[in-house]
Amino acid sequence: MTQPQTPSPEILAFGEAMAMFVAERPGELADVERFQRRIAGADTNVAIGLARLGFHVGWLSRVGSDGFGTFIRRTLEAEGLDCRHLRVDPDHPTGLLFKERAEDGADPRVTYFRRGSAASHLAPGDTDGVDFTTLRHLHATGIPPALSPSARELSRHLVEQARAKGASVSFDPNLRPSLWSSEADMRATLNGLAASADWVLPGLAEGRLLTGCDSPEAIADFYLERGAQAVIIKLGPEGSYYRGILDGQLESFTLPGFAVVEVVDTVGAGDAFAVGVISALLDGRSAREAVRRGNLIGSLAVQVVGDMEGLPNRERLAALETA
């Protein structure tokens, strides 16, 4: 008897998931003897966060034919992600990173081993089998385009196909300048992708670097004039700024961030913010409610060591939003 097919994902995310080793105690990596194994990746952080909130999220990527790749697949599937588009690359390894344990809320230093990784060999052909007609939303970041020319073409192809089939698109620049051959190439590529997105979510420093504009208002207008529908700018502890067009009317506002007693690890805060904004907009909530949820989930992320361990499920989120 033929088994029924699992429905295609309503949300698709793509990029590089890596095996991450976090130091058990503060100090330089050269002095650390013990690490905790986790997974890392800005794109997977968002995918996991949306899956925890009950969305059917697909993950498109490549991992190596190694234990780390198996670990990543098992972890993502345990989080509820649909990994039908996660391919095993027999010729290239899974990327790795090692992260120091920072103190007093400082940004931890990270050492990557990702050059030539399986995910860096992503290409448009990896979208074979993706049913864009059932896709409701695509989340993209500036990391895959930085990995390689073929991954850059994949990013463009996914955004183009998603838009052509009527899916909404969110774009977080997630700048990784060290992966680019030049700043000019980075700016041109990422601004091009942002112009094809509905919702653009840069940090203030990222927006300044990419657009050459200084104020949140000017950064937002840069992208709105190029086709974006809304720009939500992360302002760190100060909160976030929204500027967008709804029903032909321009709406702008700033919402303060949530107070955090102790900042443990800032990595992943921007991804958590994206989870909040995207989930709320897909839930049909207002722009203010979406930005508030982004600020809320972002504040949860900085209170834990891991990149995505602080992301809530739907029940916890509902409790926090009504508190």
Q: How far apart are CA 140 and CA 152, in angstroms?
A: 11
Q: Compare 236 and 233 and report the one with higher pLDDT.
A: 233
Q: Give per-residue pLDDT as tens, 106-149.
A: 677 889 999 999 999 999 999 999 999 999 999 999 999 999 99
Q: What pLDDT does residue 3 have?
A: 41
DSSP string, 206-249: HHHHHH---SHHHHHHHHHTTT-SEEEEE-GGG-EEEEEEETTE
Token pair belonging to 138: 């695509």
Determine the pLDDT at residue 205: 96
Those residues with Cβ within 8 angstroms of residue 316's Cβ, 6 or more apart along the chain or in another chain: none
Phi and psi (nearest 5°) for 123? -150, 165
Half-sphere exposure of 99 (CA within 13 A, CB side): 25
For helices 204-211 and 183-195, give the axis angle rounded to 10 degrees: 110
Task: Please give the pLDDT value at position 92.
Answer: 98
Is position 271 annotated as part of the catalytic site? yes
Quote the crossing angle between the two packed helices 42-52 and 269-282, to the nearest 10°. 40
* pLDDT class of 91 with cuts at 50, 70, 90: very high
Residue 169, token pair as written in the block: 């698109």
- Catalytic residue, chosen from 128, 271, 283, 307, is 271
Residue 105's pLDDT is: 60
Q: Tell whether the model's pLDDT for residue 263 goes beyond 90.
A: no
Greater model confidence, 246 or 294: 294
- Is 104's pLDDT higher than 70? no
Of 59-63, 184-188, 254-258, 288-292, the least confident: 254-258
Instruction: Measure the CA–CA gap between 220 and 269, rounded to whole angstroms.
Output: 21
- Residue 305 pLDDT greater than 70, yes or no: no
- Of 17-21, 102-106, 109-113, 213-217, the one with minimum mean pLDDT is 102-106
Is residue 32 predicted with pLDDT exceeding 80? yes
CA distance 268 to 153: 26
Question: Phi then psi for 77, rounded to 5 degrees?
Answer: -65, -35
Predicted pLDDT of residue 4: 47
- Alpha-carbon gap, residue 318 to 121, rounded angstroms: 40
Looking at per-residue pLDDT, the higher value among 183 and 267 belongs to 183
Contact call for residues 308 and 48 (beta carbons, < 8 A): yes
State which amino acid sits at residue 45: N
Q: Give yes or no for a contact between 207 and 171, defined as CB atoms under 8 angstroms apart.
A: no
In terms of residues, how long is the chain? 323
Percent of the chain with pLDDT over 70: 96
